[in-house]
Amino acid sequence: MRAVAGDASVTLTYELASEVDHVTISRSTANGNAQMVYAGTATSCTDRGLANGVEYRYVIRSVDPAGNSSPGVAIDVTPRRNYLRAPKDGAALRKPPKLVWARNAEASYYNVQLFRGDEKILTAWPSKAIFRLRSTWTFQGAKQRLAAGRYRWYVWPGYGARSRVEYGPMLGSRTFEIVAPA
């Protein structure tokens, strides 16, 4: 099972074995009772309307055709406010996007990182809460191209001189997809 914390939400993804009829997913907090949030045959579930900063425990159980339930697998996750503004999470784009996030008044600069799959393909340090991606660029001596595919980007506020390498908590993470070569 994999959990991705969002802004007031959590998305769970998991696999179903062939002998499983359906799954049940329950959620609880440290001081609350468990409540059922999903029952069905889908391989993902998004739980919305959660409180940011609160740790939730999810338990997924497999149920066989006879109604027997597995002991379950648990995962803890804490939703956080996402300060990234554009493009919208999961947006399908045909050209390089302008990345926009909420300004941090104490930040001297920001650290922006872009990944294609598990590979980091860009790091930048803009001084404003905006960064326009280009179709091509050089990163760590290698030519990079914004080709068709799925990308994930992250932003952290930086304080003082860049050489101090002093960053605050991550402002957020989002994905976008390039649907045609840029």
| pLDDT tens for the chain, residues 1 to 182 | 889 888 899 999 999 888 999 999 999 998 888 999 999 999 999 999 999 989 999 999 999 999 999 999 999 999 988 899 999 989 999 999 999 999 999 999 999 999 999 999 999 999 999 999 999 999 999 999 999 999 999 999 999 999 999 999 899 889 999 997 54
Q: Could you give the CA distance from residue 120 to residue 108 in angstroms, rounded to a whole number?
A: 23
Instruction: Identify the pLDDT of residue 93.
Output: 96
Do the bridges between strand 9-13 and strand 44-48 make them parallel or antiparallel, or are there none, so unpaired? Answer: antiparallel
Architecture of the domain spanning 84-178: Sandwich (2.60)
Instruction: Identify the pLDDT of residue 7.
Output: 85
pTM above 0.75, yes or no: no
CATH number of 2-77: 2.60.40.10
Q: How big is the chain, counted in residues?
A: 182
Domain ranges of the chain: 2-77, 84-178
* Domains 2-77 and 84-178 are alike in CATH topology: yes
Instruction: Identify the pLDDT of residue 172.
Output: 87
Q: Could you give the CA distance from residue 99 to residue 157 in angstroms, rounded to a whole number?
A: 14
Instruction: Identify the pLDDT of residue 181.
Output: 56
Q: Could you give the CA distance from residue 174 to residue 88 in angstroms, rounded to a whole number?
A: 8
What DSSP string runs through 98-135?
A: EEEE---TT-SEEEEEEEETTEEEEEE--SSSEEE--S
CA distances to 83, 87, 129, 130, 134 from 125, rounded to whole Å, are: 17, 19, 10, 10, 15
